[in-house]
Amino acid sequence: MAYGYFNSMRTSPGHRDEVVAILLEGADGLRAAGCRLYAVGVAEDDPDLIRVSEIWDSKEHHDRSLQLPEAKAAIARAMPLLTGEFASQEMTVVGGLGV
């Protein structure tokens, strides 16, 4: 079964679009790393909140992806724009449309 990782992050005021752009820059390379779904969304009622939904072949694929040079570079660029308020949830994906 697939591994799901769902998280949210809060940006400093006015930096949401910049962080979204950083998150989306590396999306094309994720498939080769074992990613089945990578969706970045913004909250309609909160101008500083970003949510990311990910489905991976396995937790190991997800963890290894964080060690890729492009992932490390994106994280380093985004971190100064974030408040440090994060929430995440892991799950086993058992099925669904597009999975």
Determine the pLDDT at residue 20: 98
Q: Which two tokens stand for residue 41?
A: 């969304």
Determine the pLDDT at residue 66: 95
Domains of the chain: 2-93 (3.30.70.100)
Q: Which two tokens stand for residue 66?
A: 């964080």
User: pLDDT by residue (tens digit) across 6-51?
Assistant: 999 999 999 999 999 999 998 888 999 999 999 999 999 999 999 9
The one-character DSSP state at 45 is T
**What pTM was estimated for this model as a whole?**
0.92
Q: Whose CA is closest to 23, among 61, 76, 99, 78?
A: 78
Q: State what percent of residues in the chain have pLDDT above 90.
A: 92
First to last CA, the chain: 10
In angstroms, rounded to a whole number, what is the distance separating the alpha carbons of residues 18 and 97? 30
13: left (phi over 0), alpha (psi -120 to 50) or beta: beta
